[in-house]
Structure 1
Amino acid sequence: MPALKNRSARRRDNSRHDGSAGEKTSYATEAGYELTKPQQLFPHRTSGTIDAILSWIYYLGFLALLATFAFKFHYALPKPVVEGRNPTTGELQFSEANVRLITGHLSENIGLRLIGTESVDETEQYLIREIKELKEQAKIEKATGQKNLPNFDMWIQVNDGSHRFDFMSKGKSELSTLVRCATSMYTNMTNIIVRLSCGPECDKNAILLNAHYDTTLGSPGAADDALGVGVQMELIRILSQQPALKKNSVIFLFNGGEESLQDASHSFITQHELKDTVRAVINLEGCGTSGPEILFQANSRPMIDAYKKVPYPHGSVVANDLFSTGMILSDTDFRQFVDHGNLTGLDMAVYMNSYLYHTHLDLNEHMELGLPQHMGENTLALVRHIGNEVELTTNGGKMFEKTSQVVFFDVMGFFFLAYPFDTAIRIHLLIGSLALYTLSSGASRPSQRSVISILLSFVTALMTPNLVAFILVTIGKPMQWFTHEWLPIAIFSPISAAAMLTVQYFFYDKRLSAPTNELATLSGIQFFFGVVMGSATYAQLASSYITAVYSLPYTLGLIFNQNRIYLLRRLRKTELSATVDFSTYLVSSLVPTAYFFYAAISLFDFLVPLTGRTGVDTPADYIAATLSGLYVFCACPPILAFAHRFGLPTLKRIISLLLILQVMALFVSTMYLEPFDKMHPKRIFAQHLRNLTSGETLVYVAHADAGPIYDNYVRDLETLFDTKARFKSGLENPGDWNAIYPFSQFLDSYILDTTPFIRSETLNDTIATSTAPLTDLIHDAPKLIAEGVSYDPTTGLRRLTVLCTHPEYILTVISFDAQLTSWSLSSDVPSKETFHYVIRNAGGYRTDGWRLDLEYKAKGPEDRLRIEITSMETESFDWRVEKERELAGSGDIGVMRKLVRATPDFIALTYFSTVASLFEL
């Protein structure tokens, strides 16, 4: 142990310290002590370059170890089970192999299951056969002596209806209604329902499980949502052959119209005979193909508490809060059950690797092994717990109270925590009190300078990556980071780290020693997160628990540090000036950094692929850059204090190294990276529109992200069709893409006139030389007629019934401008003023028409209603079937086939053909 020679307890060295060699001696003399053997008292504190590098390696290695463990736990999935019964015990068990039989048949043998097509009818017949077979198996089990098996009931529901669909839940105001409110009609919408129950008493209260078997355009839907269907089928197999659940029945809804604006779930919860027995819902969805499913929406304390029983918990109130903002361009059937059934429940979905979501790559082979097992075992545990132990009604039959004031999150997938927000407030007050104690005891010593430096480090960490984003966008290299969720961190983080350390460099107080600056900075970090925690708690954000996860360990770390120094004083019989022991960083960083790495993986896994489908106007590069900056700051804020440990020269070298890394990252990303590839494709929509009113035959091409499209795709189409594309903003005529309304609002278009191409390709000389519009050759287009027309001169109201016939067409959409006073739809008229209406109709298989009653303010009896109708053809949207409806007598031209064949594999193409026409009724 080094000997200390006390010169004077009151003496101070007023010299300025710049962190150069000899700083250790200066540090000792600042406190009035002299070290006879410098560097021995604190072996971790060194002044040499090698020792400084080693200290950084130790600390960064510790952080890397935390990141490795977080990565391992985050992506952990259970081993897939093949056998439906345990080979040893003979007990029924959830089998991923059985689920994959369902998902494989639906996604590969049947394929696209777009509402209104024959494939949906085939799917329904397949599911009905499978369910009836499960019912027979249950009967056999009962006949062999199995007792108390549940009643097994089945319904096929086919209904018409309508509902208002406020896209992204933001259609509440008159201002937003114009672009975000869709009115959805459905005709012959089909649901398949199964109920398992212990009898009449159980039937009074039911838990509903929901999954949809239809798919969107262009996708075979293995994960979205054949997976949910397969999980429900496997649960029916297990639960129907075991003793019935004791308290509540369980209803399985296989709904046939989620992708058509959630029509089938609306039909069930508003019209089916079982709707009033349902008390809570578990919705199974998919927007990815790998990793564990996540609990991302929950709206009652009892249902959140029930989730504690699952074997593999994964979820956080952060996802709940983020989704509730409406910023995420997605929605699920959960909305219908909440809005129209007043239900509470859980919304669970697969979300990782959502690059393949709603594309032709959503196949069984791309669904990660263990994923169905994970979702299945979790859902089975939930159903058993709720069915056997949970009282689904309270206070004389009332259902669970809806609330967003519940904090919940999983801890590295090991267990699940949930507590009310009132408890969170008490916890945060306790943490705040503990922080005040550190201030009063001297364990925490923030200065005004250090607190400001932390705030500025946070701001610059978020802002400076946007400079790199600006460069990439300016030179025409946007979204170079898109192909891997971690790439934004690699491309944008060096400048973010350099910026926040640069702030620390300029805020280094040269009047004080490096150790004093170090402790002040660590104390400033604690103060920063304490203020953030208090602000978030005051704003009543359930997500504020994250700030507590940061604030408490830093407070405990400072208390640990104070006691560590005290022990050293006692053991070594000496006085020491303010310093931070190396072990303090390990104590402070362990919990927040480990949890942050675990949570940040989810954030990037979800948000990076999402930028590929948020529209061309979304500043994707700036979003990715800002997220990367947030990642850098939150990964381990104590690094800001640790950077002061070796003085200004070392800090300056670190900043220089980070800037060099940034230049290298920018060079590599622009020279060697491509924004898209086969498994991380660019989403493009292509529509062959035949406008019967104008006589035009046009190909519209649009994309769903901010990446390039013209040079790497549209230019090739110009060559293919020997024509020049013209650009048209979606704001000019949002009705161009009405067939996929309301998503049409995000699409700008490149338009190619295909009339010259068709005339040059046809073998029909009459068509080739004619100047008549090619659309004259279409004879079976949808038609609108008016019946029961009347006009009241007293009120100025005109009434009519609109009848639509559309054989061989699906997804008809009408649009018109009128001052409606009433209509036959179930929702209220959205405006009392003149308004632009868009109404979308989805029909079941072999549905060839619909009707709509309207009443509107007219200028006179001849003030007719001008209605434009767009309809999608039943061909030209399945990549596996080269079938295309040609113009009568034109021969085999295959406009869409040629377009599809010319599409490179880094593009996920959603394509279809439509007809549009205008009627005056």
Structure 2
Amino acid sequence: MLEILQNLATSPYSLRHDIIFLFNGAEENVLQASHGFITQHPWRKNIKAFINLDAAGAGGRELVFQTGPDHPWLLRAYAQHAVHPFATVIGQDVFQAELIPSDTDFRIFRDFGNIPGVDIAYVSNGYVYHTKYDNLDSIPPGCIQRSGDNIQALATHLANSSTLHNGIEQDRHGKMVFFDLLGLVMVAYPARVGVILNSVVVGAVFLSTLCRRRQDFPSHQMYVSKVLRAVGVIFVSYLAILLTIVFVILLLTLTKSEMSWYANPALIGGLYWAPSFYIITVVHRWLGGKLHTVDSKANPWILEGVFFDANLLMWSMVIAVLTLKGIGSAYMPMLSVMFALLGRNIMWKGMKTLREGTKTMLVLTAYICMTIVPLTIMLYLMFLGYGIFLPIMGRSGNLITPELFVGFLTFIVVALATNYLVCLIHVCRSLKYTQAFLLLVFAASLAAVVSRVAFPYSGDPARPAPKRILLEHVTRTKHDQSGAAVDHDTYLSVLPLDYLGVRHMESYIPALKDAPIAECRKDMPYCGYPYYLPLLHVFRHQWILPGGEPDIDVETTFHLNSRVKKADHQNLTFTVSGPSHVNVFISLREGVEMARWSLSKEKPLKTHDGTGGWVYFICYGGGEPQDHWQFWLDLKVPDSFSNTDPVVDIGVAGLHYTDFKKSPEILEFLRQEPDWVYSIPFLGAYDSWIF
């Protein structure tokens, strides 16, 4: 950004529009700085568009994964002026479906500023994201130059854009479908054009298949019957893939070998791809043979054609469903079907020649050429998907095995990548060597993970894949309705961010062998856990180690200033002081409702509290200790409540991120942990109150 700023400032050419370079801090305070700018800064009213730069990794190509909303001119600007385009609407669909546990300033500017923009992020090597390895050494040479070329070209164009001058509302007409082809060229078109294109492809499939295949069968009814039965075989093969993946997941779970692919992504090929391909060949060989007719036994290419048409029809239905749902990612199966359909029609005369027994290699070459384009696109997206999501599995929570996600992703990839290639199974004389090879690859991969030769984590600075842990030294006090302390404890909380918990760590830190998992304190808001973010529904399991009273400099205080009762409402005003980060957990008693509060004009949002109830989670952060922060709650109380009945439980957590070196328990843990573990240490002081 600084170099782009320098280049624009020293350029001999003037810009038509002003550019603001905004360097946001406090991003991990739930995007606090960007929210403050777009809601309070006097310049906010003059902003018409923005480019957001973010990162979920280090280096690699920067990905455009969100645009708009409803401003296609921004995407056209990127498509026309980016020197090295890299974008896909799949990222937008996935991100807006909240499948990635993260957020960017794009949402803040979009939702609170009503400003359109382009969201760009580094997504490669997410293993180093927010770890000690996240440094300049992790950024490959040329990465900054590449992104600088793209972003400067886009920023320069927008700064001279006639659309900004004439008014962006004139070019606001719906979403866009966008993707790049191997990073060479950018394709972008309006979603409404995508609906037309998808519909044309689907219609062409039905018409072309109907007209082309009548000549191979005595009657149209027989052809329809064969195609429908072939569709059934394909569905059975997909079901078999799912069952095979479930079997692999159970096998990995029983042998405690989950996440072995985390530091060794190539293992996914052996653990998931190989058995999936094997079961496809088994199902098609077994059930496909039952579709043979006398003619097709003489020439199996007729049967291959039936399965090819069945694949076209089935994926056409997928395109139709995705299009009706308004999902831009429908372009993926659309491209696959379109190339297959065009190639099939072009080579149809060759297929006829093949049935007559000549020019076999020529037609096989044409067959591969027909599928190579969609297959290349699928593999290109596959490597992108695995590259983004596998590192995220190291911080996706410790409740649900990530094998389910990896298995599902593999199923989608296998289904898309093999949709037409499986048709060749029906013209192969023998598959026993191929099947034996696939089983051998699976067995070798399974042996590697079970024997721990393939370890889930890596502390190698050249290829790190660290295990992430939140390490918190906690002091916790419960107060009764009179304000007196009635319960107090201290402990060291070990909160792994992945599914494996403390597995593999016990040999390094013996205290973890007998460490219990923390139990939810239902008598305290948010289970009595001083969490930094409202992620208890994802990160539930934390291991407890003994810990003395932590040495905390800045005390967290909480006071009820006033309680005003009026009709069926109670207005409670509180004052909080403490460290730079203070969280407040508000849990209402049964029947009590939150009417308003002083923190926002909008209706307060609540989240799950870990006990089946709800809690209001307030994350209050700044650069310096909080000095007498005040807020009020307006509660609607049922008539059945007496004047002395409690109406709300409030937990207050002061989080200290710079004082952890005062904790001997934390220092000892850090000393013992292996090099493949990255811990984030801090102190937490939690107090619960009843009002």
What TM-score range do you get, normalising by the shorter chain? Answer: 0.7 to 0.9
Equivalent residue of 1:250, what SS? coil
Q: Distance in 1 between matches of 2:306 and 2:541?
A: 56
Q: Provide the residue aligned with 2:500 in structure 1.
A: 707
Q: Provide the residue aligned with 2:99 in structure 1.
A: 327
Q: Distance in 2 between matches of 1:339 and 1:897?
A: 42
Number of residue pairs the alignment of both structures matches: 644
Q: Provide the residue aligned with 1:817 in structure 2.
A: 587
Amino acid at match of 2:186: F
Are the counterparts in 2 of residues 451 and 525 from structure 1 also a CA contact under 8 Å?
yes
- The answer to whether residue 17 in structure 2 is matched with residue 248 in structure 1 is yes
Q: Provide the residue aligned with 2:347 in structure 1.
A: 561
Output one character per residue of 1:218-248: Cα deviation in whole Å (capped at 9) or x when no partner: xxxxxxxxxxxxxx21111111111455432
Q: Provide the residue aligned with 1:623 in structure 2.
A: 405
Q: Aligned residues: percent identity?
A: 23
Are the counterparts in 2 of residues 729 and 747 from structure 1 also a CA contact under 8 Å?
no
Where structure 2 has 5 or more consecutive residues not aligned to the other structure, the ranges are: 217-222, 479-486, 608-612
**Aligned residue runs from structure 1 range 57-72, under 5 A:** none
Q: Distance in 1 between matches of 2:605 and 2:135?
A: 43
Please identify the structure whose Cα radius of gyration is greater: 1
Residues 731 and 366 (structure 1), Cα distance of their counterparts in 2 relative to 1, 3 Å cut? farther
Out of 316-325 and 352-361, give the one that drifted further: 352-361
Out of 853-862 and 381-390, give the one that drifted further: 853-862
- The answer to whether residue 414 in structure 2 is matched with residue 632 in structure 1 is yes
Q: Equivalent of 2:84, from 284, 293, 312?
A: 312
Deviation at 1:916, TM superposition (A): 1.6
Q: Distance in 2 between matches of 1:544 and 1:510?
A: 33
Residues 718 and 654 (structure 1), Cα distance of their counterparts in 2 relative to 1, 3 Å cut? closer
- The answer to whether residue 270 in structure 2 is matched with residue 480 in structure 1 is no
Q: Equivalent of 2:475, from 682, 690, 693?
A: 690
Residues 919 and 366 (structure 1), Cα distance of their counterparts in 2 relative to 1, 3 Å cut? same
Residues 782 and 519 (structure 1), Cα distance of their counterparts in 2 relative to 1, 3 Å cut? same
Q: Distance in 1 between matches of 2:154 and 2:425?
A: 48
Deviation at 1:729, TM superposition (A): 5.1
Q: Provide the residue aligned with 1:899 in structure 2.
A: 669
Q: Distance in 2 between matches of 1:333 and 1:500?
A: 44
Q: Provide the residue aligned with 2:482 in structure 1.
A: none
Are the counterparts in 2 of residues 462 and 630 from structure 1 also a CA contact under 8 Å?
no
Q: Equivalent of 2:40, from 268, 271, 280?
A: 271
Q: Distance in 2 between matches of 1:856 and 1:415?
A: 57
Deviation at 1:914, TM superposition (A): 1.1
Are the counterparts in 2 of residues 529 and 551 from structure 1 also a CA contact under 8 Å?
yes
Residues 778 and 380 (structure 1), Cα distance of their counterparts in 2 relative to 1, 3 Å cut? closer
Residues 779 and 581 (structure 1), Cα distance of their counterparts in 2 relative to 1, 3 Å cut? closer
Deviation at 1:516, TM superposition (A): 2.2
Residues 576 and 489 (structure 1), Cα distance of their counterparts in 2 relative to 1, 3 Å cut? closer
Residues 849 and 373 (structure 1), Cα distance of their counterparts in 2 relative to 1, 3 Å cut? farther
Q: Provide the residue aligned with 2:425 in structure 1.
A: 643
**Aligned residue runs from structure 1 range 904-915, under 5 A:** 904-915=674-685
Deviation at 1:564, TM superposition (A): 2.1
Q: Provide the residue aligned with 1:228 in structure 2.
A: none
Q: CA RMSD in A?
A: 3.0
Greater relative contact order: 1 or 2 (C-alpha under 8 angstroms, separation 6 or more)?
1
Q: Provide the residue aligned with 1:537 in structure 2.
A: 323
Q: Provide the residue aligned with 2:335 in structure 1.
A: 549
Q: Provide the residue aligned with 1:655 in structure 2.
A: 435
Residues 557 and 580 (structure 1), Cα distance of their counterparts in 2 relative to 1, 3 Å cut? farther
Deviation at 1:638, TM superposition (A): 2.8
Output one character per residue of 1:374-431: Cα deviation in whole Å (capped at 9) or x when no partner: 2221111111111112412666x7476374x311001111111110122222322333
Q: Distance in 1 between matches of 2:173 and 2:140?
A: 34
Residues 536 and 347 (structure 1), Cα distance of their counterparts in 2 relative to 1, 3 Å cut? same
Q: Distance in 2 between matches of 1:658 and 1:620?
A: 24
Residues 642 and 911 (structure 1), Cα distance of their counterparts in 2 relative to 1, 3 Å cut? same
Q: Equivalent of 2:515, from 725, 742, 752?
A: 725
Residues 510 and 369 (structure 1), Cα distance of their counterparts in 2 relative to 1, 3 Å cut? same
Are the counterparts in 1 of residues 336 and 374 from structure 2 also a CA contact under 8 Å?
yes
Are the counterparts in 2 of residues 784 and 802 from structure 1 also a CA contact under 8 Å?
yes
Q: Distance in 1 between matches of 2:508 and 2:403?
A: 26
Q: Provide the residue aligned with 2:481 in structure 1.
A: none
Q: Provide the residue aligned with 1:525 in structure 2.
A: 311
Deviation at 1:724, TM superposition (A): 4.3
Q: Provide the residue aligned with 1:828 in structure 2.
A: 602
Q: Equivalent of 2:188, from 418, 438, 441?
A: 418
Q: Distance in 2 between matches of 1:752 and 1:430?
A: 60
Q: Provide the residue aligned with 1:356 in structure 2.
A: 128
| TM-score, with structure 2 as normaliser | 0.86
Are the counterparts in 1 of residues 59 and 125 from structure 2 also a CA contact under 8 Å?
yes
Deviation at 1:875, TM superposition (A): 2.3
Amino acid at match of 1:727: I
Q: Provide the residue aligned with 1:784 in structure 2.
A: 558
Q: Provide the residue aligned with 2:197 in structure 1.
A: 427
Output one character per residue of 1:85-141: Cα deviation in whole Å (capped at 9) or x when no partner: xxxxxxxxxxxxxxxxxxxxxxxxxxxxxxxxxxxxxxxxxxxxxxxxxxxxxxxxx
Q: Distance in 2 between matches of 1:242 and 1:399?
A: 30
Deviation at 1:736, TM superposition (A): 4.1
Output one character per residue of 1:789-839: Cα deviation in whole Å (capped at 9) or x when no partner: 2433x5143334312222xx2210112323333221123343799963221
Q: Provide the residue aligned with 2:64 in structure 1.
A: 295
Q: Distance in 1 between matches of 2:600 and 2:317?
A: 49
Output one character per residue of 1:339-371: Cα deviation in whole Å (capped at 9) or x when no partner: 111111111100111011122221111122222
Output one character per residue of 1:769-799: Cα deviation in whole Å (capped at 9) or x when no partner: xxxxx57x86852111233x2433x514333
Amino acid at match of 1:378: N
Q: Provide the residue aligned with 2:383 in structure 1.
A: 601
Residues 735 and 360 (structure 1), Cα distance of their counterparts in 2 relative to 1, 3 Å cut? farther
Amino acid at match of 2:400: T
Q: Equivalent of 2:109, from 325, 337, 341?
A: 337
Deviation at 1:278, TM superposition (A): 0.8
Q: Distance in 2 between matches of 1:701 and 1:868?
A: 21
Q: Provide the residue aligned with 2:621 in structure 1.
A: 842
Residues 615 and 713 (structure 1), Cα distance of their counterparts in 2 relative to 1, 3 Å cut? same
Are the counterparts in 1 of residues 86 and 180 from structure 2 also a CA contact under 8 Å?
yes
Output one character per residue of 1:436-490: Cα deviation in whole Å (capped at 9) or x when no partner: 2243033997633322222322332344122111101112111111113332123
Q: Provide the residue aligned with 2:239 in structure 1.
A: 459
Output one character per residue of 1:492-532: Cα deviation in whole Å (capped at 9) or x when no partner: 11110011111111122343322322222223222222232
Q: Distance in 1 between matches of 2:170 and 2:650?
A: 44
Amino acid at match of 1:725: A
| TM-score, with structure 1 as normaliser | 0.66
Output one character per residue of 1:744-782: Cα deviation in whole Å (capped at 9) or x when no partner: 442234443535xx5xxxxxxxxxxxxxxx57x868521
